[in-house]
Structure 1
Amino acid sequence: MKVFTEQQKFTQPLVIIALSIALLVSLFLTFKDWNIIVTGNLSDKFKTLSGLLIVLLVIALFINLKLKTRIDERGIYYQFFPAHIAFKFIDWKDISSCTIRKYDPISEYGGWGIKINLFKNKETAFTTKGTIGLQLELTNGKKILIGTQKKEALQRTLESYQHKLLKQ
């Protein structure tokens, strides 16, 4: 039994730099108004700290965002945590085609993350970085793209389960 597993995170340098700059700016603005935090009423304190709190929440979100993929003899599992608390499962019998392809995240989906193609209603992408993904076409007409950074290992695993698609 061949099993493919992958876990991806948003670790691109531009994401880290942008979040760091946002944190530094919000810290600067918060400490610039430190007098309000010390002497102001609760409403003023909240207004002064709200920008920093929002930036910290966004940073916490990016730290916890994970795309997990697992492929085994039963089918394909994927989870984009924290949007998906548990793995989503697609049985091999529900897949009409399964290919690895190059995609353009900006023009096809408007970026990375959980994306729905606005022009093609039944097409969804789950990506964190890169331009290579596992394209699934389901028997119900839906299309799902799951990004990968392990193209060769994914290809070897799919080849070992190709017979599961041909049984239909």
Structure 2
Amino acid sequence: MENKLEFTEKQRFTQWWLWLLLSAVMIYAIYNYIEDRQYFSTLELTLSIALPILIIILFLSLRLETKIDEHGISVRFFPFQITFRYYPWKNIKKAYVRKYSPLGEYGGWGIRLGLFGTGKAYNVKGNQGLQIILNNEKKVLIGTQKQNELKSYLENLKKV
């Protein structure tokens, strides 16, 4: 019987300050329309209200998904990536959980290209991630909110 161990994680942008900022932008746009409605064209009205709504819808649909099994690591940042990016274990030199600085190392959150050789990052919040070093020395960091579970999973996977 084959061992079907799998680690999965789905993350979303749930930071209160982000939702407060998005809501404030929308309220500001509506307030400006009410105060200066005689100066707004139909296009300006549409953009000032629809654009913040579309941005909120985008943030509601964003999610970082990670799947790890005995074959490799898969990650996607939906809706920007429809299919998973797959890293087979045979192409991975090292994988471990570490603390990182989203702003300092990668310039923020999302799908990011890091500075000074830190590689690519997929993250939505926090400062813990799965650091992958590929055989070709390229680096990929995947943010996690389940660092203890992920550490245990990686340790158990080595025994499989």
Aligned equivalent of 1:10, options 10, 13, 17: 13
Aligned residues: 157
The one-letter code sitting in structure 1 at the alignment partner of 2:25 is A
Contact 1:100 1:133 in 2 (8 A): yes
SS state at 1:115 partner:
strand
Return the alpha-carbon distance in structure 2 between the equivalents of residues 141 and 23 of structure 1. 44
Partner residue of 2:82?
Answer: 85
Q: 1:27-57: per-residue Cα shift (whole Å, max 9, x none)?
A: 11223344567xxxxxx20123212222112
Contact 1:69 1:78 in 2 (8 A): yes
The one-letter code sitting in structure 2 at the alignment partner of 1:45 is T
Aligned equivalent of 2:59, options 38, 54, 62: 62
Return the alpha-carbon distance in structure 2 between the equivalents of residues 21 and 103 of structure 1. 30
1:26–1:20 CA distance, 2 compared to 1 (3 A):
same
Give RMSD over aligned pairs.
1.7
SS state at 2:66 partner:
strand
Return the alpha-carbon distance in structure 1 between the equivalents of residues 89 and 51 of structure 2. 42
Q: 1:121-162: per-residue Cα shift (whole Å, max 9, x none)?
A: x70011111000000001122100000000111112111223
Is 1:23–2:34 an aligned residue pair?
no
Is 1:106–2:103 an aligned residue pair?
yes
Q: 1:57-85: per-residue Cα shift (whole Å, max 9, x none)?
A: 21111111100001111111111011111
SS state at 1:119 partner:
coil
Partner residue of 1:155?
Answer: 151
Return the alpha-carbon distance in structure 2 between the equivalents of residues 23 and 162 of structure 1. 49
Residue segments in structure 1 that go unaligned for 5+ positions in a row: 38-43
Contact 1:103 1:133 in 2 (8 A): yes
Contact 2:97 2:128 in 1 (8 A): yes
Return the alpha-carbon distance in structure 2 between the equivalents of residues 75 and 128 of structure 1. 22
Q: What is the TM-score with the length of structure 2 in the denominator?
A: 0.91
Return the alpha-carbon distance in structure 1 between the equivalents of residues 5 and 32 of structure 2. 53
The one-letter code sitting in structure 1 at the alignment partner of 2:52 is V
Q: What is the TM-score with the length of structure 1 in the denominator?
A: 0.86
